[in-house]
Structure 1
């Protein structure tokens, strides 16, 4: 089981990998890119992910957004620019936080965006603080998803939305003889994967209503291939680097994740889906009854 310290260490130790292989300094994204027929390059795919989630969540001008697991702030910057909203991004990683704050000041969006080091399952915010909670590929790190769902429910205003994009195990009893999912998740400090049905039950038991669901697995395949190519071309360099410099544990084996995620995807062991949950609007409910 990975602790919050482990998760922070993973992102601290691998930030330079995302800069070198993911174009972090240009797109500020650490998530999968979603491709469609109009997508010309990887940067556009990364932007697509933000755009698609923004549209599904129907984010509106003036709303308050919590980016739960904000990375280096790319989604927050995008939302502030395209919807004129207030965004607070939270992360466990000190390096991600420092990077995000620096970029926020450079972009001149500090009146709309701020960042904090916090655990999304136990935050310092008062009840009913946000219209939307945004979580791209972050809840998969939580071992106690019930705790997160209760915190998210507390933080959202009545009628608020929780938008999630994440990885899910395809079947509960699927054959994975090479333990590809297990190897991958350990390299990224993730909790064991859940299937979509059991995942949705956790959120619905807390009181959320599922209002939208979209499987975009086929659309992230080019991104998975890019990560696999990073393994093929970067792997030999990583091995030499490990011998010469003996990096810390997460940085040392990170390159292998490109192999495991792609092989597991090719075997149909996981899917990538977007889920939109809503917190019931009690005022509307009471008015109609």
Structure 2
């Protein structure tokens, strides 16, 4: 097994286990299997539009931001490269019916997304596949979305190249991701923990995403910084959360639960990097 396939397998396991935990957590909190299909960050919503979102759908805010950045026409052809449970696709389809395709490395996510599409009666319009964005893509799309997914790319340049090749002329690639402010020291404890827990090869800086756009002749049409809207706990609270999970990791005998605890530790490490102002949450739109 090569390094790329090994990393993809680790990421697939990460997505699978966390997704199962989300379903379990929702069931015990709200007595529902899934209250929200959103997996990515829930941001602070600007006061002027906060009333448009209730507690359960605040995660849709970034989906709406991405939709506004794309400005799709009638019946758009869209690929979500890292679709999770399909939240972005279902949100977009509700506002702009079209042809939507989602890729995920997680069999559990793909199964849930397909079931939800069937429940809504839109399976012929919203399709989901167990596939990596590194795999060859035969179809062509007007819009390709990657929300918090390229952070896991083994080779960012190659991943962007592969996605751009699947864009129609004039099509848009829309990325939203965690990007380091500058190169962090390799022994930074939060970076080390994040990489280990999330199976990351590295945490890339924003300039590397810009370089990938330039190399692939994408015109940067929009760039927005949402770092100030990322929810970050206070230092003492973060340290307390990390200490509790690190203790659980030592004493917990069940591997599946240990895996989830470790993944959450990675999330707290990323949150700590945000608190230290080492990472930014950036939206970039490139047009072919």
> TM-score of the superposition, structure 2-length normalised?
0.84
**Corresponding position of 1:136:** 147
**Corresponding position of 1:287:** none
Q: Could you say what secondary structure the match of 2:284 adopts?
A: strand
Task: Confirm or deny: 8 A CA contact 2:147 2:177 kept in the other structure.
Answer: yes
Correspondences of 1:226-237 after superposition (within 5 Å):
232=241, 235=244
Aligned residue among 186, 202, 219 for 2:212:
202
**Corresponding position of 2:119:** 106
Aligned residue among 114, 119, 125 for 2:132:
119
Cα distance in 1 for residues equivalent to 2:202 and 2:158: 16
Using a 3 Å threshold, how does the CA distance of structure 1 residues 30 and 242 change in structure 2: closer, same or farther? farther
Cα distance in 2 for residues equivalent to 1:234 and 1:85: 47
Correspondence 1:256 to 2:227: no
Correspondence 1:3 to 2:16: no
Using a 3 Å threshold, how does the CA distance of structure 1 residues 204 and 69 change in structure 2: closer, same or farther? same
Using a 3 Å threshold, how does the CA distance of structure 1 residues 214 and 20 change in structure 2: closer, same or farther? farther
Aligned residue among 171, 196, 214 for 1:160:
171
Correspondences of 1:171-250 after superposition (within 5 Å):
171-172=182-183, 174=184, 178-221=188-231, 232=241, 235=244, 239=248, 243-247=252-256, 250=259
Cα distance in 2 for residues equivalent to 1:87 and 1:241: 43
Cα shift at 1:14: 1.8
Correspondence 1:46 to 2:42: no
Cα shift at 1:44: 3.9
Cα distance in 2 for residues equivalent to 1:147 and 1:237: 35
Cα shift at 1:42: 4.7
Task: Confirm or deny: 8 A CA contact 1:60 1:85 kept in the other structure.
Answer: no
Correspondence 1:19 to 2:28: no
**Corresponding position of 1:95:** 108
Cα shift at 1:124: 4.0
Cα distance in 1 for residues equivalent to 2:242 and 2:181: 29
Any stretches of 5+ residues in structure 1 without a counterpart? 280-289
Any stretches of 5+ residues in structure 2 without a counterpart? none
Aligned residue among 36, 41, 46 for 1:32:
41
Q: Could you say what secondary structure the match of 2:194 adopts?
A: helix
Cα distance in 2 for residues equivalent to 1:245 and 1:194: 33
Cα shift at 1:21: 5.3
Q: Could you say what secondary structure the match of 1:203 adopts?
A: helix
Cα shift at 1:249: 5.8
Cα distance in 2 for residues equivalent to 1:265 and 1:81: 33
Cα distance in 1 for residues equivalent to 2:74 and 2:251: 48
Q: Please, what is the CA RMSD of the aligned residues?
A: 2.8
> TM-score of the superposition, structure 1-length normalised?
0.84
Cα distance in 2 for residues equivalent to 1:71 and 1:137: 10
